[in-house]
Structure 1
C-alpha cells in the first residue's frame, strides 16, 4: 500500500471510445422523430394533389402513431427474444422502404398504407435504440451518449415541423419523404458496421397480447374518426366501438393468463404507475393532438403558406426543447405529484388560451397557446419516464417505461382523431372549430392533471424507506426518455 502511495503507478491506457455507434443510433432517432411531425404542415398540399378528404388526411398522420403505439411494447419483447440489433436493422430497412413508398404514392390509400408500414418499422426502431446505446457505452461515456441522443431527439421534432413546410413549398410534398432516403442509407451502413448485438434472451413473445393491444388502439382511433365522418350511430362507428371494447377485454384476459405478459396486470394496482399513464396519455393528447387541426386552420383560414405555418408551429417545439434541456435536472427534486400533475394542468391552461382567437382570428392569437403548452410539455417530458420506473419493482422498470411511452403515443393518436372530429363538426366556422377543439384539450388536460396529482401523492403512513430517495431519483433522472415530439 505504501508503494502505491509514494510512487504512483503509471496511468492505465484507456480504450478509445468509438462514437460511430452513437452516430448510427442518433441518425435513426432523428429520422423517426422527424416523421412524427414533418407531415403535419404538408397536409393541405397532399390533399390537393391526391384528392384526399379530411378523414383521409387524418389517417395520413394518425396511422403512423397508431402503429407506433400499438406495437412499441411488442417490439420490445421481440427484441429481447431475437436480439436488439437484429430487430433495429430490420426496422431501419423497413423504414427506408416505406418512406420511399410514401414518396411515390399515387393515392391517399397508398400513402396511408405506406405510413402504416412506416409506423410498424418505427416501433421496431423506437423499442431498441436506447437499449443499444446502453449496451455500447458505459460510465461517463454512457451519460454523454444519452445527453447527445436526447439533444438529437429534441431537435428532430423542430426540424420536422419546419422542414415539412419548406419542402412542401419549394419542391412539393413528395420531397418530405424522398429527401431523407440518403439519410436512411447512411444510418443503415453505420448501424451494420458499428452496433453490437445483445445476446438473445430466449423469452416468450406475447403474440396474443400484441395483437389484442394493436387491434384495440386501431379500433378506438377508427371509431372516433368514423364517428365524426358518418355519425356516432353509424354502423361502422358502432362496429368499431364493439371491436375496440372486445379487444380491450381480450387484452386484459390475455395478460392475466399469459406466462410472459407484455404488461403484468399487477402493475395496474400501483397508484403511481397508473398516475404516470394518465399523465403520459393526456399531456401528449392535449399538447400535440390538435396540431394537424391548427395547421389546417392557419393555412386555410388565415392564409399562411406551409413555410410560415411551420415557423409558427415550431415555436412550441423550441420552447418544449429549451425547457426540457435547461430544467431537467431541477425537475426531479419536487414531488412528482406537483411536477407532473401541475405541468399537465398548465398544458390545459395553455390550450384554454386559444379563446384569444375569437377576439383576433389570426396566427398571433395562437402564440400564447403554443408557448404555454410547449413549456408544460417540456416539464413533463424528462420526468415521467423516471417516475414510471420508480413506481414499480426494479425487475419491471423497462416494462413500465415502455408502457408509459405507449400510453403517450396512444394519447397522440386518439388526440389527432378526436380533435379532427371536433374541428370538422363546425363546418364553415373554422375559427370556432379550432377554439372548441383546443378547449376540449384544455378540459382533458386539467382534469387529468388533478387526477394524476392525487394518484401520485405519497400516502402519509408510508415509510420513507419505501420510496426512492433523492439519490435514486437523481440516478433515474439521468435515464433518457424516448423522443417526445412523436
Structure 2
C-alpha cells in the first residue's frame, strides 16, 4: 500500500473534517519525543550508576579504583568516539546511524545488567559509551534536519533541558531503582526504552542524504587514548602524588597523543574534527564554555552523592530525591529561555547562567559536617539547576546557527565531545584535589577542595563567555 493510500485509509474519527490525519513523520511532537528519549537515556547513564555504586561494590567485590573506572569508562568511550560517531552519521545517514546506536546501547545495557564479574560490567559500560557516541551526534543533528525557524529553537530548548538535567535525573532514577530492586535495574531499565525507540525512530524521523567519505580512525584513536591517558594521570596523581612515575608517564603520553591528534586532523582529507570548526569566534567560545561548564557540573554530581550518602547518611532513594530541586529549576528556566533569547540574544543568557552555576559551586566549597540539606545543599542545587538550564540552550543554538545544515553533524559532534570529555576531565581533576586535601581522612575538607576545583572550571567558562562570545540577537 502506498503512502497516499495509507493516508486516505485513515479512520475518519481521527481526522478533522475535510482533512486527513497527518502521517507520523509530520508530527513534530512524536519526532521530538524520539530524539529527546534517546538523549535522556544517554544522559541518564552518565550518573544513574553513581547512586548504585555501593551496591555494585558489594555485589561484585570491586575496589574503589574499580568503581571509579566503571563510571569513567563510559564517559571516556563516549567523549572520545563522539567525533567518529558524527562522521558515521554523515556517511551512513543520520537516521540509520541514530537507530543503530540505540540498538547497540540497548544490547550493552542488557549485558551490564547480567554482569557477574567486574571485568564484564566494565566491558558493558565501555560498549554503552561506544553506542552513545554513535547515536548522540545524530540526535542533535536530526533536530536541525527535522525542525526549522522558531520550531527549531523550541525543540533545542527541550533538547538542552534534557541534556543538562539528564545527569541530575539519573541520580533520582538510580536511587529509585536501587532502593526498589537491585543495582542491575539501572541497566535493565534501558532495554524496554531502547526497544521502543528502535521501532519508532525509522517511522518518524526524516532521512538525510548520505555523503560518501572516509573514517578518520587515526584521529579517533589518538583523541580517545589521549583523553584516557590524561584522566588516568589525574586520578593516579590524586592517589599516589604528583611525583608518581606512572602518573608522569601518563601525562607525557597524553601530551604526545593529543598533539598527534591535532597533527592528524590538519593533514587528513576528511578529519573527524575539522579544525575550521574551532576558528569562528562565537562557535569556539561556545565550545570552550561548554567544556568548562561540564567539567564543573559532572564532577560536582559525583561528590554531591558521596556527601549525601557518606556525610548525611542518606539511602539511595533519599539521595536521589535530593536532586529534585535542581531538576525542577532547570526545566522551569528552560521553558522561558527561548522567549528571552529571542529578545535579548544568546550572550546575556549564557553569561547569567554561568554566573549562577559558578555561585552554586562556590557555595558548596563552604560545606561543613554540621550542615544539613536545607542549610548546605538546597540553595546551591537551585543555583546550579537554573544556571545549567539557562546556559545550555543558547550555546547549542549558537553552534548550530553558525554552520550549514550539511555540517550540523560535525558541529554537534564537537559540541557533545566538549560536553562529555569536559565531564571526564573535570571529574578526574576534582578526584585529584579531593585525594590531596583529604589525606588526613577529612572527607568534607576533601570535598570542599573538589568543589573549589569545579568552581575554577565554571569561572573559566564565565570569562570566555563574557570576554569572547559576542553573538548578536
TM-score normalised to structure 1 length: 0.84
> In the alignment, does 2:178 pair up with 1:165?
no
1:173-212 aligned at under 5 Å gives the runs 173-212=183-222
**Matched residue of 2:349: which SS?**
helix
Partner of 2:251 in structure 1? 241
Change in Cα spacing, 1:235 to 1:376, as seen in structure 2 (3 Å) is: same
Question: Cα deviations across residues 339-385 of structure 1 (Å, max 9, x unaligned)?
Answer: 32443233222111114422733333112221111111111111112
1:297-376 aligned at under 5 Å gives the runs 297-331=307-341, 333-334=343-344, 336-358=346-368, 360-364=370-374, 365-376=376-387
Shift of 1:16: 1.1
Change in Cα spacing, 1:123 to 1:276, as seen in structure 2 (3 Å) is: same
> Matched residues in 2 for 1:54 and 1:453: separation?
39
Change in Cα spacing, 1:257 to 1:349, as seen in structure 2 (3 Å) is: same
Shift of 1:64: 1.4
> Matched residues in 2 for 1:214 and 1:91: separation?
18
Shift of 1:319: 1.4
Change in Cα spacing, 1:339 to 1:185, as seen in structure 2 (3 Å) is: closer
> Matched residues in 2 for 1:145 and 1:346: separation?
24
Partner of 2:267 in structure 1? 257
> Matched residues in 1 for 2:96 and 2:46: separation?
23
Question: Cα deviations across residues 302-354 of structure 1 (Å, max 9, x unaligned)?
Answer: 11101111011232222122212222320354465543244323322211111
Contact residue 47 and residue 171 of structure 2 kept, 8 A: yes
> Matched residues in 2 for 1:370 and 1:47: separation?
28
Mean CA deviation greater in 254-263 or 183-192: 183-192
Contact residue 104 and residue 174 of structure 1 kept, 8 A: yes
Shift of 1:117: 0.6
> Matched residues in 2 for 1:219 and 1:417: separation?
11
Contact residue 351 and residue 466 of structure 2 kept, 8 A: yes
Partner of 2:289 in structure 1? 279
Which of 423, 429, 435 is 1:418 aligned to?
A: 429
Partner of 1:475 in structure 2? none
Question: Cα deviations across residues 398-430 of structure 1 (Å, max 9, x unaligned)?
Answer: 533432221121111111222223223304211
Mean CA deviation greater in 431-440 or 155-164: 155-164
Counting matched residue pairs gives 450
Contact residue 58 and residue 417 of structure 1 kept, 8 A: no
**Matched residue of 1:36: which SS?**
coil
> Matched residues in 2 for 1:115 and 1:396: separation?
30
> Matched residues in 2 for 1:31 and 1:38: separation?
10
> Matched residues in 1 for 2:356 and 2:143: separation?
33
Shift of 1:232: 2.4
> Matched residues in 1 for 2:272 and 2:165: separation?
31
Contact residue 55 and residue 229 of structure 1 kept, 8 A: no
Partner of 2:102 in structure 1? 92
Contact residue 336 and residue 456 of structure 1 kept, 8 A: no
Contact residue 392 and residue 400 of structure 1 kept, 8 A: yes
> Matched residues in 2 for 1:388 and 1:137: separation?
16
Change in Cα spacing, 1:95 to 1:259, as seen in structure 2 (3 Å) is: same
Unaligned runs of 5+ in 1: 1-10, 458-466, 471-486
Partner of 1:482 in structure 2? none
Question: Cα deviations across residues 240-268 of structure 1 (Å, max 9, x unaligned)?
Answer: 21221111111111111121223333443
Contact residue 86 and residue 409 of structure 2 kept, 8 A: no
Shift of 1:60: 1.7
**Matched residue of 2:393: which SS?**
coil
Which of 54, 72, 84 is 1:44 aligned to?
A: 54
Shift of 1:145: 6.2
**Matched residue of 2:242: which SS?**
coil
Question: Cα deviations across residues 17-62 of structure 1 (Å, max 9, x unaligned)?
Answer: 4146555434333322222231121122222322223322222222
1:459-474 aligned at under 5 Å gives the runs 470=473
Shift of 1:207: 2.2
> Matched residues in 2 for 1:94 and 1:415: separation?
27
Partner of 1:67 in structure 2? 77
Shift of 1:443: 2.3
Partner of 2:131 in structure 1? 121
Partner of 1:3 in structure 2? none
> Matched residues in 2 for 1:393 and 1:21: separation?
21
Change in Cα spacing, 1:399 to 1:24, as seen in structure 2 (3 Å) is: closer
> Matched residues in 1 for 2:124 and 2:187: separation?
11
> In the alignment, does 2:458 pair up with 1:452?
no
> Matched residues in 2 for 1:141 and 1:349: separation?
32
Contact residue 287 and residue 415 of structure 2 kept, 8 A: yes
Shift of 1:201: 0.9
Question: Cα deviations across residues 90-124 of structure 1 (Å, max 9, x unaligned)?
Answer: 21221111101111222333222211110110111
Unaligned runs of 5+ in 2: 1-16
